[in-house]
Amino acid sequence: MIRFKNLTRSYGPGKGIFDFSFEVEEGEVFGLLGPSGSGKTTALRMLMGFEEPTKGRCAMNGKDCAKAGLSLRRITGYLPENIRLPQELTGRQFLKSMAQMRGVKNLERLFELAGELNLDVDQRIGKMSSADVKKTGIVCAMQHNPQILLLDRPFEHLDPKSRSVLVDIILEEKERNHMVLLGTEDVNGVDMTCDRVGLLDHGNMVYLGDIEDLRDNMCREYMIQFHDARSTIKFSKEKFEIKTMKDRNLVVEVQGAVKPLLQALSAYDVTEIESVPTSLKETFQHIYGGRLHA
């Protein structure tokens, strides 16, 4: 289990992370979602034992990360943010030497993973695209089959196909009862992989909960088609936020429960009602007041 208890690491006002308290269970994928500078990297680095808490503590498998960093790092796979790696080596040379450092003898899984991600390991890192460098880092983080996986911006630079492969890999890790903690700005990546999510803003956790709960509590949009244009105009004067209106159709935004909308609509002749898919990104933008980076 990963546990944060009142964890604070302050670099000044609004910089760092403040009073984090949450847990990640075995077999759970947890997403730390927030814009750049919101504290995702700091949280992951603290789990790796690279940063000391100003206050509180964080622990993995019951061991304090600041004190037992060495033993915890052996069972953890870590992908740092913005890695570039040594340009002089090929992907194969780099991955092999990192595996040797860890004492990993069986390199089958390593190159199997590289194959899954469509990574050409015989290419020099200096000539690799940023997506391939990221893939090399992901393979490196997972080469020893770690119980805990900490991935900082894993979806960044990846093409849609590789993203989908990475999503499958993360979900496989979940099935194997491993813990995965993602730090990302990628709302769709979180949507596809995470069980729970923590929204970060300037080092503060502004929301913590299941992704489904979050969706249920947030704004939703409905496209409503009325029998005639007069009804449409009449409904637009009700106490609902109208996003768009055209002919007999209008899109209405509802925050929280949908019951009041349905009650109001019972007085009208409605021919069609349909939920407009709201992306998680829009949902989070609502919480952040538009501050979330695209």
Partner 1 sequence: MLNLPIIRQDFKINRGRILVMFVLQMVSMLMAIGICEMKLIEISDIFWDTIPVMIIPMLLEMLLAYETITRCGEEGTMDLILATGIKPQKILFSKIFFIMVSGIVLVGAATLLGCLTRVYRLTGEWNRNSYLCLNAGAVGLQIFLGGFSYWMACRSGSLKKYILTGALIPMVLYGIYVIYYRIPQLFFLQYITVFSLFRQNWFAKGSVMSWIGIGILLILGILCFLLGNRAFYDHNFPE
Give the Cα separation of 20 and 9 in Å (integer).
10
Segments in the chain forming alpha helices (H): 40-47, 69-74, 91-102, 108-116, 130-142, 160-175, 187-193, 211-217, 229-235, 259-265, 280-288
- Minimum gap (Å) between residue 80 Cβ and partner 1: 4
Q: Which is nearer to partner 1, 50 or 268 (CB)?
A: 50
- Minimum gap (Å) between residue 35 Cβ and partner 1: 21
Q: Which is nearer to partner 1, 152 or 186 (CB)?
A: 152
Give the Cα separation of 51 and 4 in Å (integer).
14
- Minimum gap (Å) between residue 82 Cβ and partner 1: 7
- Minimum gap (Å) between residue 101 Cβ and partner 1: 5
Q: Which is nearer to partner 1, 153 or 196 (CB)?
A: 153
Q: Which is nearer to partner 1, 93 or 204 (CB)?
A: 93
Q: Which is nearer to partner 1, 68 or 171 (CB)?
A: 68
**Tell me, what DSSP letter sits at residue 84?**
-
Q: Is the distance from CB of 182 to CB of 167 less than 8 angstroms? A: no
Q: Is the distance from CB of 20 to CB of 57 less than 8 angstroms? A: no
Applying CB under 8 A, which residues contact partner 1?
48-52, 69-71, 73-74, 76-78, 80-86, 88-89, 93-94, 97-98, 100-102, 137, 140-141
Q: What tokens does 44 get?
A: 């992951």
- Minimum gap (Å) between residue 52 Cβ and partner 1: 5
